[in-house]
Chain A
């Protein structure tokens, strides 16, 4: 984030247009455009977004080949910690059940059994959530590994750049003040009050914490657990099995990480929309982010 800035005069507008623009977060009053995200952050961000969506959806396609998770090195088929099953009803429809720690939950239509073009199918996740849509393990795996490579290449460049340019230290890792203000910021976020003016120039503490957890914890964890599932990697690095408590535990952690990513996605996108969709989106595409003059909104 640099301090380059352009001054923009307020624009006269019709009330209807202005209401839409306010909802989208297009600044109304006098504002300054600051260069918020460097080209590297923007490029890495969008490559990453693409990779994560494809990895999540192809991963769910892989999961569907054996929709059950276990703890340890081997699979105890009698005691999966999570599984999805389907049961045929008299009228030809299916009942889908999700078992968590051996307790059944009826998830018909969503998990275990769902409809594809009106046709009932026994499948873990429904066709609209997987990639490719039809059950096709071989292709899901090929997409998964192709985008895993892209994700890792992108992350490697981003890490090298982030360390070299001080982006992590300066912009991402929470500092002591951030941590002290954290409870206050959580309250503010829950009330959907977002930083304005000068305070919006930089990531706030909660943002820093969320991004840091995703980049430094969740990311490495999902890559390493992904590799632990490879028998050849386990021959090269048996420590991986020790680290994660076995291949099937690694698979379970991988799955939990994937859903933590999904949770992050949803909150991240909600925050982007609520704190000014257009301004945020533009800043991640062009780099320029509008900051209102302190007096314009108070």
Chain B
């Protein structure tokens, strides 16, 4: 290349890179082929992390002295519906957790039936996707026990959690918070349906009467106010099709980082 044309080339390349950085990344983020590549990256991250973490490694557990004096409540702090207020008033005696979908034995458990099953207590770190962390103690029923009682069918791949907190923005059709985990994460020993936090009944702000804890995942993968667990083969026809409320808004389904 002659000096002159090389200089024009370099100039153009630099100008192009600059334009890409400043405006382009926003536009690029909306393009199908770009989101396609970013989706492949998510799969790569998930596979790589599974390779190292496997199914059984445990999230670190902490000492009582590490428990945060104030555990931040994020997302819904009170579902605010009449039905929910009625449950609060009656101490959740009528709250039920249904297990439905691809199971041999559909279940509908009351809180006292859930609490009658063996429990696990763990002091773990909650990592919010926003970047902060809080340590708290959780007691609950391992989800593996509940699922085993319902006998998943061989084609069940995901557990979808339906919650009581409405996420409807004005003008939208009604919809509620929902989330999903693959079955491997759902039966992980630290994945529990937690009904106690720091030794007391789960507060409303943290998902009373029962929330999911999946300790190797970020906070948005651990729904509060859980009412139904549906086992499915794929979630592409549920709500926005991405497997969760935040996922439908662009967050990755894989929430391990």
CB distance from A58 to the nearest CB of B (A): 8
CB distance from B18 to the nearest CB of A (A): 10
Residues 225-247 of A, flagged 1 when their CB comes within 8 A of B and 0 if not, give: 00101111111111001000001
Once the chains bind, are B257 and A131 in contact (CB under 8 Å)?
no
| B33 in contact (CB, < 8 A) | no
Report A-chain residues with C-beta under 8 Å of the C-beta of B6. Answer: 282, 285-286
Report A-chain residues with C-beta under 8 Å of the C-beta of B206. Answer: none
| B68 in contact (CB, < 8 A) | yes
Contact of A248 among B41, B133, B215 (CB under 8 A): B133
Once the chains bind, are A57 and B21 in contact (CB under 8 Å)?
yes
Cβ < 8 Å to A, chain B residues 22-47: 22-23, 25-26, 29, 37-38, 41-42, 44-45
Q: Give bound CA distance, A74 to B52, whole Å.
A: 24
Chain B, interface size category, equals: 35 or more
Q: Give bound CA distance, A68 to B132, whole Å.
A: 8
Once the chains bind, are B256 and A251 in contact (CB under 8 Å)?
no
Name, among B49, B58, B60, B128, the residue most crowded by chain A CB atoms within 10 Å (CB to CB): B60
Contact of B41 among A54, A65, A146 (CB under 8 A): A146
CB distance from A6 to the nearest CB of B (A): 14
Report B-chain residues with C-beta under 8 Å of the C-beta of A51. Answer: none
With both beta carbons as reference points, the residue of chain A lying nearest to B38 in the complex is identified as A142
| B252 in contact (CB, < 8 A) | yes
Q: Give bound CA distance, A77 to B72, whole Å.
A: 9
Number of A-B contacts (CB under 8 A): 135
| B191 in contact (CB, < 8 A) | no
Once the chains bind, are B215 and A236 in contact (CB under 8 Å)?
no
| A37 in contact (CB, < 8 A) | no
Report B-chain residues with C-beta under 8 Å of the C-beta of A65. Answer: 129-131
Given contacts A75-B132, A142-B42, contact A236 B52 (CB under 8 A): yes
Report B-chain residues with C-beta under 8 Å of the C-beta of A53. Answer: 21
Given contacts A74-B134, A128-B22, contact A232 B128 (CB under 8 A): no
| A43 in contact (CB, < 8 A) | no
| B102 in contact (CB, < 8 A) | no
Q: Give bound CA distance, A286 to B53, whole Å.
A: 43
Contact of A66 among B49, B128, B216 (CB under 8 A): B128
Given contacts A66-B132, A131-B21, A139-B250, contact A281 B45 (CB under 8 A): no
| B197 in contact (CB, < 8 A) | no
Interface of A toward B, CB cutoff 8 Å = 50, 53-54, 57, 62-63, 65-66, 68, 70, 73-75, 77, 128, 131-134, 136-139, 141-143, 145-146, 149, 227, 229-238, 241, 247-248, 251, 281-282, 285-286
Interface of B toward A, CB cutoff 8 Å = 6, 10, 17, 21-23, 25-26, 29, 37-38, 41-42, 44-45, 49, 52-54, 57-60, 62, 66, 68, 70, 72, 125, 127-135, 215-218, 246, 249-252, 256-257
| Across the A-B interface, the 6 shortest Cβ-Cβ residue pairs | A232-B256, A230-B257, A138-B250, A236-B53, A75-B132, A66-B130
